[in-house]
Structure 1
């Protein structure tokens, strides 16, 4: 038998220098690129868009935090979805991580996504470096009502053909008679025009209604789909934090609210228990199921003051899944 041993190896771990350390430094060490992007540059104020913060390169991905975003209050920002794609090789951890925010504008306008900075320490150059994004603009379109100046209505003028105009209304100051044409009306151009114009107008109206209904369906689908994704995400968060009372009931409350939003399509500002109850009754959901739903919400609100244990939280999680299943079966 032979015994082989390696020599003793000492590793000297140097502390990070304090000199030149940026205020927003969160512990990133390596070589990184920082990217900020939006899924849309223009949209309607009832639609949603995604803001993505991405860091890619080589370094200690699991030991630092991504920057946070600070946006205007008229933009409703949901919790980000974390996407990771990291591989380990002889150089260390290599890949990328993303935070994807879902944002819903509450009013039209041109919004600026401000500059966002990410700082890291580059061991090769032995210095701190900061990556900063450019300002990005998102144009949110919507209907704007414009009030006309009352003085415009009283203004009048006479144009070159002798029309007296009052604002947008005009009439001829002098009457001029013309000879009636002797052309036979039947089978004339006017006859065929009057015959087909109603059909053409009807086709145009039907087409416009179909387009408007399609746009409305698309908006409702986007709102419902976004809320459904968030509901599933918060249910998973609740399950993961079933041993943490505050985090569990906070996630469960958000999951149930987003589930209701996906089926009832209500705005967060319009949400209250009475309106939700009335909406569910109109959609043929039974009183028993609605009472069970309200019990879940009451437990979430009382969680800070009532000593729930692990068994109670496990039971509430099972009840939440059961209530979602009951509502899906009963709702019309």
Structure 2
């Protein structure tokens, strides 16, 4: 026993070594690095430094080990963080502290030098491997534009590792009107920095600058999980990989926004920037007094169409005009904003004669020609003849607005006198009468059948959901046969979301893995089926952005999705 204590004394008095180590002391502003706090003993109440000059990308990751060599036991406890600097300069990381054997001990402070850009280095930690093999690049189709001129911002993800669980962090576009564009999320092979990469458009936005000057668009931040090969094999001789939680940041974009020229600018400038055309239309040019016509004004083209208002129209006081009906059709795609804005006026003349409708004009700035353009529509005339109702008393030719009813975009006079007795005789025992009597009994009969389970709700009230799934699976099979694997994964993933959304009446945009789990459990789907369903979604998300396809058994994915849906159908 005494001999054992003599061996242990050096460990008690000299084994409490608490050190801080960094992967590098010189980093770039866009680089990340690891810092580890290691205690050669067991401890508790670890307190890290504040890291006020750095972003904490990951951590703390805690690891511990125990070993016995020549009868001497040693323990080691390590806390690891991944950091990225906030600014350039020289910064000091203050000591960390921990309590061990009743004493509170601390590390030495460490000085980090931060330079602009990136510092050339190639460490082989999993985190740095991800940093070299996964990139997020932001680019715009125009680096110089006029205020009000739409530009397209694209975020392209390049990767040479298997990635999953991609999550975009929120971003604000100060000084811009912004609207997201739907992206397919399909990956494709491409070249980046003279290397072969997989790439996918992760986000695309239409931006319309609202103020002039040099405008900076901050980078997009992206969280993901990357699988880094370890060059080790497991018990079954399969290659293993390490999952790394990684935060990716795109580059900033600077756009030079020019002010619209003052030379040639109309006094009543509409604010339109792009290329447009103007059209006016009358549905008929000859009517009687108190009849209605529709006068439409349409502005079409491409540019900041979604921010515009239709041209105003000043009608003759002798014409009664109702509030216009808007029927816009605007599309926002990767090509920009295009379509038309249209307003339809219902016009009712109260007197005979020939009326000239006002000339409608519209102006805009064309950034390609750098000139202002003024458009004028062709004038329109209306010939108004005799009244709709003949009456010797001319005063009855004029009716008030209160006696006009708007029916199906047309105006009809409300008849105030009719023979109710005649109507009753025609209605009683007519075909319509018998149909109205029969309908309640039919609804009651169908309700009883449905409640007792004799009617399937999909057959009764819409197309069979299972047939719809089968049709989508046939499309997925064709994609697989054509070797279009990325679209094949996307189609199977969309089928899984569509099935839950349709079957349980949940909006697709509100669906996530947690929501799907909640919905399936609420509807008494067995736990094992729920877990298999969620696992299928996670695997398809992983394969969708997979850099390697040779190890994926496509037929198993196809039949697996079909089996899962069959199991849920049978469990209901």
TM-score normalized with structure 1 length: 0.44
Select the structure with the greater relative contact order (CA < 8 A; seq sep ≥ 6): 1
TM-score normalized with structure 2 length: 0.26
* Larger helix fraction of residues: 1
* Larger strand fraction of residues: 2
Structure exhibiting the larger radius of gyration computed from Cα positions: 2
